[in-house]
Structure formats: structure tokens, C-alpha cells
A and B are shown apart, each in its own frame.
Chain A
Amino acid sequence: NAGVMQNPRHLVRRRGQEARLRCSPMKGHSHVYWYRQLPEEGLKFMVYLQKENIIDESGMPKERFSAEFPKEGPSILRIQQVVRGDSAAYFCASSPPSGGARAYEQYFGPGTRLTVT
């Protein structure tokens, strides 16, 4: 049973370019979360999605950042016109449907480390 998959693992972009980060949740999971980890910081919640729906985007920057989780395919976190301050590790997590012993457990992927030069 594969875990949460993220790709690429490392991404280098020049200032002004676009970054696309992909996340495939665990099999059977329909909830996806994106977090950002800055150096020496904990993870900061960005957005929570279910298939074709954004449930909570209270942690997303207002500009340049967007996320989607289409009916088919992985979830995508998109950063337009990247700046040096966007350099961070971006983690995706998934969780099973609500209820049961696994309630509220989030399973994390290995992360994508974005470097903006």
C-alpha cells in the first residue's frame, strides 16, 4: 500500500517562474492538505481540499498561490511568479474519510523542497 506520493522531491526555479507541486494521496483517502515548512519553523497549514472542492484555504497567501484536487489525478499546488521567500519545503498530507479509529490522522508525503534562485 503506497503512501502519500509527492513529486518532484526537489524543484529549482528562477524568480518569476511558476512552480507546480504534485501530491497523490494514499489509496482510499479523499482529503488532501498542503503545508509549508520554512527553515527552523514548524509546518504551517495552507489549504484543505476534497475532490473538486476547496474546503479551507485560510492559510493560503492571497496572491500567486492556488491549489486544486481534480476528480482524476493528483492534487496540484501552484505558485506563480515565485520569489525567494517562497523557498521552503512543501508537504502534502492525506486522511481517510471521517469517522472510525483513524479519525483525524493525517499521513504525510516526503515533501517537495522548492529553491528559488
Chain B
Amino acid sequence: AQSVTQLDSQVPVFEEAPVELRCNYSSSVSVYLFWYVQYPNQGLQLLLKYLSGSTLVESINGFEAEFNKSQTSFHLRKPSVHISDTAEYFCAVKEGGGADGLTFGKGTHLIIQP
């Protein structure tokens, strides 16, 4: 069975500084990887996904994540954060060809300080 570890429960960052949110997974088979963002009292929104091909994937709002198979990681990065990026970020994995439910990490609360 797969699992997802998000090492940091909270990450405080100053506005316009870079940020990296870490995500590691464990699985014995090929996986698909996702980052979701959750704003207060809202559902999750898909930020970006890796299915195959280029290991670097980007979102429309400046986030990017790189799939590293040897390190079983899918860290999320942004070169310059904004106050509006304050939210909970969840990493999720789905086994290729397996059951369709996603396995989520516990989440990282990104706190942007002015």
C-alpha cells in the first residue's frame, strides 16, 4: 500500500520569498502524483499533477513540482510567494492502474508573513 509523508506541518515564509513544500511517497508500483490546495472552509483545488513524461510540472499561478523517482519525492516550489498563497497544501498519490482513491499526506500549512 502507498503512503505519503509531508514532513512539515507548517511553513512560515515572508512575502516574495521562495518556498519549498516537501512531499515523499512510498509505493511498490508506478504512481501518479498530485498537489492540492485548500483555502479556509473550502474544498480542495487541484494545483498540479504528474502522470508521465516531463518530471517538472507547472501550475498557472507560479507553482511547480518535480517528480524524483530515485528519491520518491514530489516537492512543491514557488520562487516568490504572495499573501494570497496562504493555505493548506496537500500532496496525494494514486497507484497506476490501482484503485482510484487518492492517498493524501497530512498537509502543510503555508503561512505568508508580510
Contacts and interface: CB of A to CB of B under 8 A. Distances in A.
Interface string A74-117: 00000000000000000101010000000111111111000000
Interface of A, secondary structure class, is: strand
Contacts, number: 67
Interface stretch (B53-61, B76-84, B99-107): B99-107
Contacts of B105: 42
A46 B103 CA distance: 10
B32 interface: yes
Nearest to A98: B100
Given A42-B90, A43-B90, A91 B51 contact: no
Contacts of A56: 99-101
Interface of A: 4, 6, 31, 33, 35, 40-48, 55-56, 58-59, 91, 93, 95, 103-111
Interface of B: 4, 6, 9, 32, 34, 36, 41-46, 49, 51, 90, 92, 94, 99-107
